[in-house]
């Protein structure tokens, strides 16, 4: 049995420009998903729609009784619909490229399944009345989506790019260490949030049983480690090369994120700064993935 894609092959073909636009749209929307989740959390709108998949019993959309919190939560849920559309466009455009791009197509499909996972975890988070562990899992699922979107975007951006420069063995291993440390940074960050005041709802939501100050210090130390590994990669990379450029951008993102983190801790975790910190977390994760991908390619060139 022929699939719809098989029937369209030879009749419809998209160029690389379409692929770049689609992959970029998914990446941007994935970041907006993270930011939207942050807005929901700091405004206490996590239970603005008290049911799932409907907003409340018998109503898909928020009713006037739910107030502004219902509007905020419902708007955040609608972002998932936008994400589904752009991921669908990416799948179609990748599958119907004039020159077959099977690897990019696989990553596009991976994003679809992660979107499904993220929606399910989000629903469970609501049904669990914003358990901090489900909230953390929901954030990490969003980071998993961002991972797939970043890899797809990176593959697309390199279609016409220059070949990576060879790398020394320590650079290759440092890329792996950087990615692992960045993942730990995200996980510990969810513990900081889980013990902090922004539970996601204005009512009493239980928090993680950790000391907020101690977890924050651990988070800071891991961030310093990530910064140190990134600085080493920047120093070791060839001037003017892709690894040097990507490492430099990651250092900038880490520095900005560090300043935001210190400010929010000192002045009492204001909502706007917390949202900015979540956006920064997404950008740092994107940067870490792109640096790790570049070190992997450089190692492959050296081995070849």
Is 141 inside any structural domain?
yes
Residue 14's φ and ψ, nearest 5 degrees, are: -105, 145
Confidence of residue 227 (pLDDT cuts 50, 70, 90): very high
Q: pLDDT: is 41 or 218 the higher one?
A: 218
In tens, the pLDDT along 75-87 reads 999 999 999 999 9
Is 3 inside any structural domain?
no
What is the domain-level CATH number for residue 33? Answer: 1.20.1420
Is 7 inside any structural domain?
no
Same domain as 144, residue 193: no
Compute how many other C-beta atoms are within 10 angstroms of the C-beta atom of residue 152: 27
Same domain as 268, residue 204: yes
Q: pLDDT: is 150 or 201 the higher one?
A: 150
Predicted pLDDT of residue 163: 56
**Looking at the 3D structure of the chain, how many domains does it have?**
2
Last residue of a domain, one of 137, 161, 185: 161
Is 64 inside any structural domain?
yes
Q: pLDDT: is 5 or 266 the higher one?
A: 266
Same domain as 156, residue 18: yes
Same domain as 256, residue 133: no
- When mean pLDDT is compared across 55-69, 125-139, 189-203, the lowest value belongs to 189-203
Predicted pLDDT of residue 117: 95
Last residue of a domain, one of 132, 161, 190: 161
Is 67 inside any structural domain?
yes
- Cα dihedral 94, 95, 101, 105, rounded to 10, equals 70
- Mean pLDDT across 100-105: 92
- Mean pLDDT across 273-300: 90
CA proximity to 75, closest of 41, 36, 103: 36
Same domain as 302, residue 169: yes
Burial 223-237 (b: 16+ CB within 10 A, else e): bebbbebbebbbebb
Predicted pLDDT of residue 304: 47
Please give the Cα distance from 111 to 158 (Å, whole number): 19
In tens, the pLDDT along 157-185 reads 988 765 555 555 566 688 899 999 999 99
Same domain as 253, residue 138: no
Compute how many other C-beta atoms are within 10 angstroms of the C-beta atom of residue 20: 16
Is 6 inside any structural domain?
no
Please give the Cα distance from 261 to 278 (Å, whole number): 10
Same domain as 185, residue 280: yes
Last residue of a domain, one of 96, 131, 161: 161
Please give the Cα distance from 171 to 234 (Å, whole number): 10
Is 233 inside any structural domain?
yes
Share of the chain above pLDDT 90, in %: 63
Predicted pLDDT of residue 4: 67
Is 5 inside any structural domain?
no
Range of the domain at 135: 13-161
Same domain as 231, residue 95: no
List, in order, residues 6 or more apart from 200 with CB less than 8 Å away: 40, 41, 44, 45, 46, 47, 130, 135
Same domain as 259, residue 120: no
Same domain as 179, residue 40: no
CA triple 48-54-55, angle to 5 deg: 20
CA proximity to 141, closest of 37, 222, 215: 37
Same domain as 34, residue 145: yes
CA triple 44-72-183, angle to 5 deg: 70
Indicate whether 206 pLDDT > 50.
yes
Same domain as 279, residue 172: yes
């Amino acid at each position: 049995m022929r699939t719809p894609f098989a029937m369209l092959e030879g009749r419809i073909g998209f160029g690389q420009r379409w692929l770049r636009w689609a992959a970029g749209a998914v990446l941007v929307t994935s970041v907006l998903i993270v930011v939207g989740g942050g807005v929901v959390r700091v405004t206490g709108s996590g239970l603005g729609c008290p049911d799932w998949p409907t907003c409340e019993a018998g109503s898909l959309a928020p009713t006037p009784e739910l107030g502004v919190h219902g509007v905020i939560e419902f708007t955040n849920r609608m972002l998932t619909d936008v994400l589904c559309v752009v991921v669908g466009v990416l799948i179609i455009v990748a599958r119907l490229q004039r020159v077959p791009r099977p690897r990019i197509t696989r990553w596009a499909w991976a994003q679809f399944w992660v979107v499904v996972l993220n929606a399910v975890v989000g629903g469970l988070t609501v049904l669990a009345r914003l358990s901090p562990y489900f909230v953390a899992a929901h954030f990490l699922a969003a980071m998993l989506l961002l991972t797939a979107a970043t890899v797809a975007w990176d593959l697309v951006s390199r279609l016409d790019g220059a070949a990576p420069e060879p790398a020394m063995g320590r650079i290759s291993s440092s890329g792996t260490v950087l990615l692992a440390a960045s993942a730990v940074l995200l996980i510990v960050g969810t513990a900081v949030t889980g013990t902090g005041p922004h539970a996601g709802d204005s009512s009493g939501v239980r928090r993680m049983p950790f000391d907020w100050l101690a977890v924050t210090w651990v988070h800071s130390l891991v961030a310093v480690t990530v910064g140190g590994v990134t600085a080493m990669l920047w120093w070791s990379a060839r001037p003017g090369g892709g690894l040097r450029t990507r490492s430099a951008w990651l250092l900038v993102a880490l520095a900005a994120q560090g300043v935001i983190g210190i400010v929010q801790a000192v002045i009492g975790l204001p909502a706007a700064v917390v949202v900015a910190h979540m956006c920064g977390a997404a950008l740092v994760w994107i940067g870490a993935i792109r640096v790790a991908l570049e070190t992997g390619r450089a190692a492959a060139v050296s081995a070849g």
